[in-house]
Amino acid sequence: MKEPFLDNSEGQLFLTEAFKVIIEEVLCKGTDVKEKVCEWREPEELAALLDLELRENGEPQHQLLQRIRDVAKYSVKTNHPRFFNQLFAGVDYHALTGRFLTEALNTSQYTYEVAPVFVLMEDEVLSKLRSLVGWAEGDGIFCPGGTMSNMYAMNVARYRAFPEVKLKGLWSLPRLAVFTSQQSHYSVMKAAAFQGIGTENVFKVKVDDRGCMIPEDLGETIELAKSQGAVPFFVHATSGTTVQGAFDPLEPIADICDRQGLWMHVDAAWGGSVLFSKEHKHLMRGVERADSVTWNPHKMMLTGLQCSAILLKDTTHLLKHCHSADATYLFQQDKFYDSSLDTGDKSIQCGRKVDCLKLWLMWKAVGSKGLEERVDRAFAHTRYLVEEMKKREENIFFSHFYLTYENSPDYNDRLSKVAPVIKERMMKQGTMMLGYQPQGGRVNFFRMIVISPQLSHQDMTFCLNEIERLGNDL
């Protein structure tokens, strides 16, 4: 018997009805400030509500549509104006259209023959991103997230320094040293472990009070590594650290890399989009001197997950030489078109999702000027929030907590428990989502992410009021 959903008319009818549910539950309710950010349930209860078990027989269309409603209802609404929890939030409808179209076309970004539109489109988008960095030429590829982009940079840097590693492996290498700040993304440690360099060979450079790498300590740390018999090859700077949003001073870091002959990588997954802004691009002054840059448009540019690029200044095809395996069933050299259009061998993946369309369509819709306005708006909201916080330095809740426990020997321990309790309350009430973490000598504090273009000053004020409301009995 023919499966009902292998019939195009039946499948398209279901898809039409499903889209109605998605628009209503995810895009209407999910962006409505009067609706909850999340409908919290404990894991056992949630599993039962969703009826997750997979069975022998299929279900009718009406039941599947209810499944879609349930998935939407109990999922976190990351498009909600009061979702401040992660470095992605909000929705751009042009980008979302690109995401839907990408899924419908269902192709792989590895050869021109199966993805002609997207091979050309990716090249154009990457070229435009590189021009914003300050490079007239170069290379690059879209990757499945910033962690992978950072891993690409480290791998290509190692290949440039020791090309024999591709054939002979780690046996051919000395002890290598990587340098990054104390507040860099944890993907640096993951990359060192994954590539066999070892996490003990990641040297952490001190940061100042703002969380920025101290160049003088970078120089001293490089000499320390050398004295221990390690061979420096890679410096990982950050433009927009995960917690403090700090921008490392790229010019003096580049000076050191030039003197030492080291690959300079800039992880601008979060902060790269400031390059659109005439007012704020100074934060990345000197980025054009880097060898590679990670940039996640799915963060400040709102393309939606996932959209991450690794950009390289190199014009000698290092990316391909480092990763190619010359699979003859994909990358034949006697094709009827220019085989250099087959970019798949640059990647460590075989099948590769199309990530350029959503960014391209959004960029076409709003232009570079519109993207600049988004960046400037995020900074304006942040300045407003800081000013509001300064006005509340003596707010009733925190003053009461301080005066009650300031002389207690376990003051820091008590204080560290405040943010987790407030977070639990906001989640269970569904009013907003805001992350927290400790850092260095600081106990748990809230990390506010300001990004969505749907945000207003009222949302900033609500966030502060809600923290006070949720914690007024602590």
Domain with 316 in it: what CATH number? Answer: 3.40.640.10
Do residues 115 and 99 share a domain?
Answer: no
Do residues 389 and 315 share a domain?
Answer: no
Establish whether the linkage from the previous residue to 306 is cis, with ω within 30° of 0: yes
Instruction: Give the tens place of pLDDT for each residue, 105-127.
Output: 999 999 999 999 999 999 999 99
Do residues 317 and 367 share a domain?
Answer: no
Q: What is the extent of the structural domain holding 434?
A: 32-38+76-106+356-473
Please answer whether residues 154 and 177 qualify as being in contact, where contact means their C-beta atoms are separated by less than 8 angstroms.
no
Do residues 215 and 323 share a domain?
Answer: yes
Given this model, what pLDDT does residue 1 score? 47
pTM of the model: 0.94
Largest CA distance in the chain: 79
Residue after which a domain boundary falls, among 299, 334, 353: 353
Question: Residue type for 198, please?
Answer: G
Residue appearing with tokens 């709102």 = 302
Q: How far is CA 447 from the centre of its chain?
A: 16
Given this model, what pLDDT does residue 331 score? 83
Distance CA 149, CA 187 (A): 9
381 located within any domain? yes
CB contact set of 123 (below 8 Å; sequence gap of 6+): 343
Domain with 86 in it: what CATH number? Answer: 3.90.1150.170
Given this model, what pLDDT does residue 361 score? 98
Distance CA 436, CA 431 (A): 16
Question: Residue type for 150, please?
Answer: N
Q: How far is CA 91 from the centre of its chain?
A: 15
Given this model, what pLDDT does residue 368 score? 98
Do residues 373 and 339 share a domain?
Answer: no
Please answer whether residues 302 and 451 qualify as being in contact, where contact means their C-beta atoms are separated by less than 8 angstroms.
yes
Do residues 465 and 367 share a domain?
Answer: yes
Do residues 86 and 211 share a domain?
Answer: no
Which residue positions in the chain have pLDDT lower than 50? 1, 396-397, 399-400, 402-403
Do residues 166 and 314 share a domain?
Answer: yes
Cβ atoms within 10 Å, residue 216: 12
Do residues 287 and 381 share a domain?
Answer: no
Given this model, what pLDDT does residue 415 score? 82
Residue after which a domain boundary falls, among 307, 331, 353: 353
Complete DSSP assignment for 94-129: HHHHHHHHHHHH---TT-TTT-HHHHHHHHHHHHHH
Q: How far is CA 80 from the centre of its chain?
A: 18
Given this model, what pLDDT does residue 29 score? 96
Do residues 326 and 446 share a domain?
Answer: no
55 located within any domain? no
Q: Based on the structure, what is the number of domains in the chain?
A: 2
Burial class (CB in 10 A: 0-12, 13-18, 19+), 255: middle
Given this model, what pLDDT does residue 400 score? 46
